[in-house]
Structure 1
Amino acid sequence: MQVSVVHFAGCPSWRAAGRRLRAALDEHGRSDIAVAYVPMASGAAAAAAGFRGLPTLLIDGHDRFPSGPMPDGLTCRLYPTATGLAGAPDQADIAAALRERIPS
């Protein structure tokens, strides 16, 4: 399994997204899986890849939270969470997305 956080330096939420992804992996007993941090160089590259803002969490190359409009340029992404919109998904939501990929 490959997991990554695609980000750009100007967005303040990519570190929190990475911490939550790491914690969700650990929760599943998968401390052996490294979280890759992939910087996005340009808005054109983000649009070509189909990203709906950054950070984007990829699990085996797929965005497990594909919602929201396609933005122009490098923009911060908002995720629906239990407490409202946030710059990163809740750890529980990430864990649920991982459950679909990690056998029990």
Structure 2
Amino acid sequence: MSEKSDIYSFGVVLLELVTGREVLDDYGETVIDWAKDHIGQALDNNNHSSFVDFRLQEYDEEEIIRMICCAAASVYKPACLRPRMTQILEAYKGIWNGEVYG
């Protein structure tokens, strides 16, 4: 195992937490494949309702966006381009290049 595979696994867990889906559904589709088809709409159109688990009655929209972005960077980038965990934590906290956002 490597740090890059750990980052990938962390991204999968984030997708599970945000979407409320299991890694593999009853139809054989992974949360990774399902999310890939829906993540753009959630981020580009600011429409989280079809992406975020409906059981999350209340959530901070900026935190959900950060979680989705961290998951996407962890899962969909090639291994050599995946961020380090410190970068994931900074992004989740809203820190980019030393500046605080959100």
TM-score by length of 1: 0.28
Q: Comparing both structures, which one devotes a greater share of its residues to helix?
A: 2
TM-score by length of 2: 0.28
